[in-house]
Amino acid sequence: MSTILVATEIRQGELKSINLEVFTAAVKIAKEINLTTTALLSGKNAASLAEIPAKYGIEHTVVVEDAKLEKYSPDCYAAAIAEVARQKDAKVILMGATYTGKDLMSRAAQILDTALAQDCTAYRAEGGALRFTRPMYAGKVRAEVRVASAPVMATFRAKTFKPEENPVAAKVEKLQLNLPEPLTVLEAIETAAAGKLDVSEADLIVSGGRGMKDPNTPEGKENWANLEKLAELIGAATGCSRPVSDDGWRSHDEHIGQTGKTVSPMLYISCAMSGAIQHLAGMSSSKCIVAINKDPEAPIFKAADYGIVGDIAQVLPAMIEEVKKLKARD
Amino acid sequence: MNIAVCIKQTPDTTTRVKIADNGKSIMEEGISWIVNPYDEYAIEEALQLTEKHGGEVTIISLGPAGIEKTIREALAMGAHKAIRIHADNIPADPAVTAKALAETLKSGGYDLIFMGRQAVDDDHGQMPALISQALNLPGVSMVVKLTIEGNKGTALREIEGGHEKVSFNLPAVIGANRHLNVPRYRSLKGIMQAKKIPIEVKQAPLTAEKLLLEKMEYPPAKQSGKIFATGVEAVPEVVRLLREEAKVI
Ligand SMILES: Cc1cc2nc3c(=O)[nH]c(=O)nc-3n(C[C@H](O)[C@H](O)[C@H](O)COP(=O)(O)OP(=O)(O)OC[C@H]3O[C@@H](n4cnc5c(N)ncnc54)[C@H](O)[C@@H]3O)c2cc1C
Ligand SMILES: Cc1cc2nc3c(=O)[nH]c(=O)nc-3n(C[C@H](O)[C@H](O)[C@H](O)COP(=O)(O)OP(=O)(O)OC[C@H]3O[C@@H](n4cnc5c(N)ncnc54)[C@H](O)[C@@H]3O)c2cc1C
Q: Do B138 and A184 touch (CB under 8 A)?
A: yes
pLDDT at A196 over 80: no
Instruction: Kindly state if the Cβ of A258 falls inside 6 Å of ligand 1.
Output: yes
Distance, CA A239 to ligand 1 centroid (Å)?
Answer: 13
CA-closest candidate to residue B31, choices B77, B66, B57, B71: B66
CATH of the domain at A290: 3.40.50.1220
* Residue in A189, A234, A318 closest to B235 by CB: A318
Residue A138 falls within a domain, yes or no? yes
Choose one of A159, A174, A189: the last residue of a domain: A174
My answer on whether A56 and A156 are in the same domain is yes
Q: Any idea which ligand is nearest the CA of A116?
A: 2
pLDDT at B222 over 80: no
Predicted pLDDT at B40? 96
Instruction: Kindly state if the Cβ of A220 falls inside 6 Å of ligand 1.
Output: no
Residues in chain A: 330
My answer on whether A140 and A257 are in the same domain is no
d(C-alpha A277, C-alpha A280), whole Å: 5
Tens digits of residue pLDDT in A115-125: 999 999 999 99
Q: Do B236 and A139 touch (CB under 8 A)?
A: no
**Domain coverage including residue A250:** 199-329
d(C-alpha B94, C-alpha A145), whole Å: 13
Predicted pLDDT at A86? 97
pLDDT at A41 over 90: yes
Predicted pLDDT at B225? 55
One-letter identity of residue A15? L
Task: Taking residues A280-286, report their average pLDDT.
Answer: 92
Query: To test ligand 1's pocket by mutation, which of A212, A213, A242, A295 has the most ligand atoms within 8 angstroms of CB?
Result: A242
My answer on whether A117 and A159 are in the same domain is yes
Predicted pLDDT at A195? 64
Global pTM reads 0.81
* Number of Cα atoms under 13 Å in the Cβ half of residue B14: 3
My answer on whether A276 and A129 are in the same domain is no
Q: Do B125 and A204 touch (CB under 8 A)?
A: no
Beta bridge partners of A257: none
**Residue of chain A nearest B13, judged by CA positions:** A278
My answer on whether A204 and A250 are in the same domain is yes
Instruction: Kindly state if the Cβ of A282 falls inside 6 Å of ligand 1.
Output: yes
Q: Do A143 and B158 touch (CB under 8 A)?
A: no
* Residue bearing the CA closest to ligand 1, atom 36: A211
Exposed e or buried b per residue across A146-184, where buried means at least 16 C-beta atoms within 10 angstroms of its C-beta: bbebbbbbbbbbbbbbebeeeeeebeeeebebebeebbb
Q: How many domains does chain A have?
A: 2
My answer on whether A130 and A24 are in the same domain is yes
Choose one of A157, A174, A191: the last residue of a domain: A174
ipTM confidence: 0.86
Show the DSSP H helices in chain A as ranges.
17-33, 52-55, 74-87, 99-112, 218-234, 242-246, 277-283, 300-303, 312-329
Q: Do B129 and A187 touch (CB under 8 A)?
A: no
Residue A302 falls within a domain, yes or no? yes
Instruction: Kindly state if the Cβ of A247 falls inside 6 Å of ligand 1.
Output: no
pLDDT at B2 over 60: yes
Tens digits of residue pLDDT in B99-138: 999 999 999 999 999 999 988 888 888 999 999 999 999 9
Chain A environment of B164 (Cβ under 8 Å): 72, 186, 188-190
The DSSP call for residue B198 is: -
* Residue bearing the CA closest to ligand 2, atom 11: B92
Atom of ligand 2 nearest to the CA of B89: 17
Phi, psi angle pair for A40, to nearest 5° = -115, 120
My answer on whether A224 and A153 are in the same domain is no
pLDDT at B71 over 90: yes
Cβ-contact B35, B232 below 8 angstroms: no
Residue A191 falls within a domain, yes or no? no
- In Å, the largest CA–CA distance within chain A is 65
pLDDT at B223 over 80: no
Cβ-contact B112, B135 below 8 angstroms: no
* Residue in B166, B211, B224 closest to A185 by CB: B166
pLDDT at B226 over 70: no
CATH of the domain at A99: 3.40.50.620
From B223's Cα to the closest Cα of chain A, the distance in A is: 7
d(C-alpha B205, C-alpha A151), whole Å: 24
Choose one of A174, A209, A244: the last residue of a domain: A174
Of chain B, the end-to-end C-alpha distance in Å amounts to 55
Q: Do A307 and B165 touch (CB under 8 A)?
A: no
CA-closest candidate to residue A175, choices A251, A246, A287, A81: A81
Predicted pLDDT at B59? 98
Predicted pLDDT at A234? 92
Task: Taking residues A80-92, report their average pLDDT.
Answer: 97
Chain A environment of B209 (Cβ under 8 Å): 115, 148
One-letter identity of residue A183? L
* Residue bearing the CA closest to ligand 2, atom 47: B115
* Complete domains list, chain B, with CATH: 2-203 (3.40.50.620)
d(C-alpha A47, C-alpha A63), whole Å: 6
* Residue in A118, A198, A259 closest to B160 by CB: A198
From B85's Cα to the closest Cα of chain A, the distance in A is: 20
pLDDT at A79 over 70: yes
In sequence order, the 6+-apart residues with CB closer than 8 A to the CB of B42 are B5, B6, B7, B114, B115, B116, B174, B176
Helices H, strands E: what count in chain B? Answer: 6, 13
pLDDT mean across residues, chain B: 93
Distance, CA B79 to ligand 1 centroid (Å)?
Answer: 33
Percent of chain A with pLDDT over 70: 99
Atom of ligand 1 nearest to the CA of B13: 1
Tens digits of residue pLDDT in B161-171: 889 999 999 99
pLDDT at A23 over 70: yes
My answer on whether A108 and A12 are in the same domain is yes
Distance, CA A248 to ligand 1 centroid (Å)?
Answer: 14
Residue A8 falls within a domain, yes or no? yes
B18 to each of A136, B10, B24, B218, how far by Cα in Å?
12, 14, 11, 9
Residue A92 falls within a domain, yes or no? yes
| Reported confidence tier of residue B230, pLDDT bands at 50, 70, 90 | confident
Predicted pLDDT at B224? 55
Tens digits of residue pLDDT in A1-12: 799 999 999 988
Predicted pLDDT at B64? 96
Chain A environment of B235 (Cβ under 8 Å): 308, 315, 318-319, 322
Q: Any idea which ligand is nearest the CA of B42?
A: 2
Chain B environment of A267 (Cβ under 8 Å): 242, 246, 248-249
Sign for the pseudo-dihedral over CA of A46, A95, A80, B107: negative
**Residue of chain B nearest A141, judged by CA positions:** B218
